[in-house]
Structure 1
Amino acid sequence: MPRIILCGELTWSHAECEQMFTGVADVTVMSSPDRADFFRNLKPGGKYAGVVGVYRRNISAVQIGPFDREVVDALAKAGVKWIAHHGAGYDKIDVLRCKEMGITVSNTPGAVDDATATTALYLMISALRQFSKAEQDVRSGLWKSRLSSGNAHDATGRTLAILGLGGIGMRFAQLAHAFPMRIVYHNRRKAEDAPPWCEYYALDRLDEMLSISDVLSVHVPLRKETEGLVDENMIRKLKRGAIIVNTARGKVIDEDAMLRALEDGHLGAVGLDVYADEPSVNPRLLEMPNATLLPHMGASTCDTQKTMELRALGNLLAYLTEGKGSDIVPECQ
């Protein structure tokens, strides 16, 4: 019987997993304390020998690190043909090397849309209204001593710019449109399924979009070409006092440029769920009362996590039973 490894234990779908794979595959939970032990046990005679598929969660990086070239090569040599990643973003997997080595990678697009979009909504409202600073004041016994109504703004009637109108960006647009807000967006190409109230700005009009935006919300995946995409130039094109919200990946934004803009007042506030060097957070951010900060918890609800688990496991099951699965990442297609 083929074997699959769970690199990162399930939280919500133990019973479903057992039901799905009984008689189909031997399910083994990765228990290696480090990368060296993991590699040893992938070899013939090891407890992971015979593995053909991997369910991967980012938490497994604590023991064995990211799925970089070294890990991918070891998995390919062991016989792995499918990596089912638990999550929408897959920047911790060397997907190009996977393709070279004959390994298909799937993710869980759509499963995180609602939870991440509501996180972006909270971050935007908190940044606009100074809610994070206000809560800190209450907990410190300061009441409203550090608040100024001149720095608090309503969302209604303001312009929200979405950088990347994918599943999460679209769901966030729907939520923000209810205030209502004016919704503008930039993609590499126009989103065919976007409603008419989402105004598209192509690359040649990006500066114009930034200049009218009260809020810029970032929803692009982290790739080599998007690292530092929101740079000094883009940030300075935003109107003075604008807000940046980021629930994508920390490295999509030039963090130093963002901090400079916060310190000199060009940015009015930020709402961040992700950071350039997480779990470390730049100490300068921690000192800023106009920064709402969350610990990368955008998709951290029991409902979303179970959906993601089942989606990833389902892709792995489809590969084992049908020879193919869904949600294949673009680089592996």
Structure 2
Amino acid sequence: MPDNARPKVLLSGPLQYAKKELYEQIGSIADIVELTSKSRQEFKSDLATKYQNLSVIYHLHDPEDALGQLDDEFFSWLPKSCKHICHFGAGYDDVDVTAAYKHGISVTHTPGAVDDATATTAVYLILSAIRHFYHAEKNCRAGQWKKGLPLARDPEGKTLGIVGMGGIGGVVARRMQLGWGMKVVYYNRKPIEPKPDFECEYMSSLEELLKVSDVVSLHMPLNSQTAKSFSTAQFAAMKPSSVLVNTARGGVIDEDALLVALRAKDSKLWGVGLDVFPNEPEINPALMEFDNVTLLPHMGTETTDSRHKMGMVVINNISNALKGEPLTNQVPEQKKLISEGK
């Protein structure tokens, strides 16, 4: 990039949150351009013209955008001037971060900014699933009052198992413990250090957690290790009359195994709450057969407050990238590669 050329920041989709702040804080040091390419091949051609001097891509997840999955091929097209992908979201399964690292490109995300809103969604799903509130609302709307509505269960005194005690999982655990008196156990690859500021017990294996948990709440990222990792063996290990909630990514659950578990005559599933699905925006119609399943259309961060916080984190990441300052939100996989000297 010529010394006198201003760097470009490419918006990969329509920006709705913290837009004013972006132009105020980033517009003074870089040109901000919107993606107008209609396909990946057109984008490749436009790199030499419309997006010349590209330095940072502000990546907004959109299943229908022209860029699609940011993979090895995509990164091979980018000019040497483009060294950063600043992703709008905590989850980033549509970005191959290992391939990006191979091409010298850092990827950032927005952890922390999504914790409260996503945790609120998880809490709602836990309560709806354990109290069968979806079934009750369905009855009301059909004018059936309590006809055919079985007695539900209380969350108080039950055990909550958190799979993936990160930012979101920690907020869920704290709220359910303080608000509903639930005992908290959790499973990560290793115990959290320093220990959380609320009472909880580390389980050395997922199977151990499933055997003692009345409610299981999933909060792990989607990657090659976690894809469909909650499957037949995990459903078999759950306690009778237990609840499963997923606000992570739909792909971490083996949906076929979930349907088998729900349909089983002696099903262990008292209730299920899902905010995420493997093939969004499609939802498997078979899930709608069950009155004990609460479904939401990926509402985790669907609040103006949360989206604004996420936008401000992206702005900070872009600013650090352009100024050559340390990145505060580089994705864990890349930070691990750096620490290992790879």
What TM-score range do you get, normalising by the shorter chain?
over 0.9
Aligned to 1:131: 133
1:40 maps to 2:45: yes
> Contact 2:218 / 2:248 at 8 angstroms: preserved in 1?
yes
Deviation at 1:138, TM superposition (A): 1.6
Partners of 2:177 and 2:253 in 1: how far apart? 25
> Contact 2:13 / 2:65 at 8 angstroms: preserved in 1?
no
Deviation at 1:196, TM superposition (A): 5.3
> Contact 1:7 / 1:60 at 8 angstroms: preserved in 2?
no
Aligned to 1:50: 53
**Which sections of structure 2, spanning at least 5 residues, go unmatched?**
1-5, 336-342
Could you list the per-position Cα deviations for residues 259-300 of structure 1 after superposition, in whole angstroms to 9, with x for gaps in the alignment? 111111221111000112221111110111111001111011
Could you list the per-position Cα deviations for residues 113-156 of structure 1 after superposition, in whole angstroms to 9, with x for gaps in the alignment? 0101110000000001111121122222222223111xx11110
Specify whether residues 4 and 196 from structure 1 end up closer, same or farther in structure 2 by C-alpha distance, changes over 3 A only: closer
Aligned to 1:20: 25
Aligned to 1:160: 160
> Contact 2:71 / 2:100 at 8 angstroms: preserved in 1?
no
Aligned to 1:244: 244
Question: Which one has a larger percent helix, Structure 1 or Structure 2?
Answer: 1
The residue type paired with residue 197 of structure 2 is P
The residue type paired with residue 226 of structure 1 is T
Partners of 1:225 and 1:135 in 2: how far apart? 37
1:113 maps to 2:115: yes
Could you list the per-position Cα deviations for residues 299-332 of structure 1 after superposition, in whole angstroms to 9, with x for gaps in the alignment? 1110110110110121011111234322011222
Aligned to 2:3: none
> Which runs of 4 or more aligned residues in structure 1 lie more than 4 Å from their structure 2 counterparts after TM superposition?
none
Partners of 2:198 and 2:121 in 1: how far apart? 24
Partners of 2:319 and 2:63 in 1: how far apart? 21
The residue type paired with residue 211 of structure 1 is K
- Cα RMSD of the aligned pairs, angstroms, is 1.4
Aligned to 1:182: 183
- Count residues in correspondence: 326
Could you list the per-position Cα deviations for residues 228-271 of structure 1 after superposition, in whole angstroms to 9, with x for gaps in the alignment? 22121111111111110000011111111111111112211110
Aligned-residue identity in percent: 41
Q: Report the TM-score when normalising by structure 1.
A: 0.94
Partners of 1:209 and 1:331 in 2: how far apart? 25
> Contact 1:7 / 1:30 at 8 angstroms: preserved in 2?
yes
SS for the counterpart of 1:313 is: helix
Could you list the per-position Cα deviations for residues 36-88 of structure 1 after superposition, in whole angstroms to 9, with x for gaps in the alignment? 2222211x2x211211101101126433212122222222x363100000111
Partners of 1:196 and 1:169 in 2: how far apart? 12
Alignment of 1:275-314 (within 5 A): 275-314=277-316
Alignment of 1:201-240 (within 5 A): 201-203=203-205, 206-240=206-240
The residue type paired with residue 330 of structure 2 is I
Partners of 2:324 and 2:299 in 1: how far apart? 34
Partners of 1:239 and 1:21 in 2: how far apart? 52
**Which sections of structure 1, spanning at least 5 residues, go unmatched?**
none
